[in-house]
Amino acid sequence: MWRPPQRIRHQPARGRIPAQDEAKASLLFSPVKIGNLTLAQRTWVPAMVPWRATEDGFVTQNVIDWYERFARGQPGAIVVEATGIRDIPSGPLLRIGHDRFIPGLRKLVETVRAASEGRTRLLIQTIDFLAIRRRPQPAKFFQRFLKITDAHRRALGTSNDGDIRARLAAMNDDELAQVLDARELESLRFGYRERVTDMHLDHIRALPAVLPALFADAAARASQAGFDGVELHYAHAYTMASFLSATNTRGDGYGGARENRVRLPLDVFAAVRERVGADYPIGCRYLAEECVAGGSGLDDAVFYGVEFARAGMDFISTSRGGKFDDARQPNVGTAAYPYTGPSGYECMPQHISDARGPFGRNVAPTAAIRAAIRAAGKTTPVVCTGGIHNFEMAENLLASGACDIVGAARQSLADPDWYRKIAQGRGNEVRTCEYTNYCEGLDQKHKQVTCKLWDHDGLDDARVSRTSDGKRRATAPEWKG
Ligand SMILES: Cc1cc2nc3c(=O)[nH]c(=O)nc-3n(C[C@H](O)[C@H](O)[C@H](O)COP(=O)(O)O)c2cc1C
Ligand code: SF4
């Protein structure tokens, strides 16, 4: 992962630990409503992909164990990882693009309900993504993948395609840059990647026509499976975020001005709402800032937040960065990963950072979005996430009006019981996340995600379940509350 050049080491801390009475009376442990749904407390475990589904996208026992462990900490809400809305192969990512996925998802819902003693609400994040391929071997790229065009023929002064392929394969980088266009060079150096602006492709042109129904069908399945609500994934590097992006120049009324860029996200929401009804909680996660050159900034995000609230979303959750635009060049045979560049750092900042540090980088932008929503007369609750890891921080955010709900991904991974520990006045037992991003490194390699703080604990105990490679603990150590 990219790191800021300053390389300042920041130390996470437990902060001031409240006694049980203080915790009980705190904002963090007070209820909040998202639509008609009440969360018992304002704690929220945001979506995290742990790479535990089957290759066909089904819920496994491993997936169930993962969420069961989070549920025992009894947070106000857990959002199940990004789950694909299409019925297409997508590796070990959960899927909800067909009714055959419902029974497994229902079992997941029932497990979380039981493990949290009914105290945790379970939402699911629904996602669409475009095609991305691995970085090719150059020889293969020139032999097979590159489509020879008139531009190549003109540049090389021949119409013999075989000859063109052979000559391109023998060129150095500077020579290739004279002959190939930017997308061809990108396909060679990073692997082919579709964009929402690829209007020459029928299925990309058709996205505004097909996505509302796909998201609506997925939400209907989520409701059938018993989920308490749906989070539409409008963040990071994926299709819906690409529509919101200032880099979206589509000329069909869904790109260009921000009013156009927000159209499809609103159409999708309208279709979902119509399908699941007024009472079913639906919100979205989107970027407070894209953090890439030419991308959407806070002004755009404020505008979108107000639009989403006016449209009737039940909650809004913010993230930042996580784009392909500045991702690191992958090795040959692997695909680009959107969390490897500076924008990826903004999404999951590490403990070695710049002067701003990794804790609460999204607080000020989220506060600005919330203030604009309130100024527009809407009470839509806003979830803020990013480096939040102790009671004091969380309570200050709520007290200052930066947000209504506090998201903590890695801190919840480090210690799924941290909510219960604080609520019981036992905050000194919390395992604080170190923000070294060991977990994120596993995620990047699509390996089953675990936390370095619990990995080796009890690994020699035969009763402890391990990851499929047998090297790490599959779930966090127990805590007797
Ligand atoms: C292993 C891992 C997987 C993640 N998967 C998702 C995901 O599926 N959807 C999403 O919106 N964010 C995802 N994120 C980002 C987190 O939800 C969160 O925004 C980010 O980690 C910053 O919050 P934190 O500092 O509390 O960890 C993931 C993060 C991690 C560490
Ligand atoms: S591995 Fe654990 S301690 Fe390290 S960043 Fe991830 S959650 Fe935090």
CA distance 97 to 94: 10
Alpha helices in 90-206 (DSSP H): 102-115, 138-140, 150-156, 161-169, 173-179, 182-189, 202-205
The whole-number pLDDT of residue 130 equals 97
Q: Tokens 């945001």 sit at which residue? A: 46
pLDDT tens string 185-219: 999 999 999 999 999 999 999 999 999 999 999 99
Instruction: Answer yes or no: is pLDDT of 324 > 80.
Output: yes
Determine what percent of the chain is predicted with pLDDT higher than 70: 100
* Residue in 420, 434, 417 with CA at minimum distance from that of residue 70: 417
Instruction: Answer yes or no: is pLDDT of 224 > 80.
Output: yes
pLDDT tens string 106-136: 999 999 999 999 999 999 999 999 999 999 9
Which of 438, 448, 454 is the best mutation target for the ligand 2 pocket, counting ligand atoms within 8 Å of the beta carbon and taking the most? 438
- One of 3.40.50.300, 3.40.50.620, 1.10.10.10, 3.20.20.70 is the CATH number of 8-133+197-444, namely 3.20.20.70
pLDDT tens string 66-98: 999 999 999 999 999 999 999 998 889 999 999
pLDDT tens string 361-381: 999 999 999 999 999 999 999
Task: Give the Å distance between the CA of 432 and the centre of ligand 2.
Answer: 9
Ligand 1 neighbour 439 (Cβ under 6 A):
yes
**So where are the chain's domains?**
8-133+197-444, 138-189
Q: Where are the beta strands (DSSP E) in 224-301?
A: 229-234, 282-289
Average pLDDT over residues 28-51: 98
Which of 48, 285, 319 is the best mutation target for the ligand 1 pocket, counting ligand atoms within 8 Å of the beta carbon and taking the most? 48
Ligand 1 neighbour 443 (Cβ under 6 A):
yes
For residue 123, with 0-12 CB atoms within 10 Å meaning exposed, 13-18 middle and 19 or more buried, which class applies?
buried
pLDDT tens string 328-347: 999 999 999 999 999 999 99
What string of DSSP letters covers 287-303?
Answer: EEE--STTS--HHHHHH
**Site residues for ligand 2, CB cut-off 6 Å:** 410, 413-414, 433-439, 451-453
Helix and strand totals (H; E) in the chain: 20, 12
Judged by DSSP in three states, 28 sits in coil
Q: What band does 480 get if pLDDT is binned at 50, 70 and 90?
A: confident
CA distance 393 to 359: 9
Average pLDDT over residues 36-60: 97
The closest residue, in CA terms, to atom 23 on ligand 1 is: 386
Task: Give the Å distance between the CA of 36 and the centre of ligand 2.
Answer: 34
CA distance 163 to 428: 70
Average pLDDT over residues 425-442: 96
C-alpha distance from residue 50 to each of 27, 121, 233 (Å): 30, 19, 17
Atom of ligand 2 nearest to the CA of 437: 5
Instruction: Answer yes or no: is pLDDT of 455 > 80.
Output: no
Query: Does residue 306 contact residue 372 with C-beta atoms inside 8 Å?
Result: yes
Atom of ligand 2 nearest to the CA of 351: 5
* Residue in 81, 79, 68 with CA at minimum distance from that of residue 113: 68
The whole-number pLDDT of residue 317 equals 98
Atom of ligand 1 nearest to the CA of 437: 31
The whole-number pLDDT of residue 286 equals 98
Ligand 1 neighbour 81 (Cβ under 6 A):
yes
CA distance 82 to 142: 35
In this prediction the pTM is: 0.98
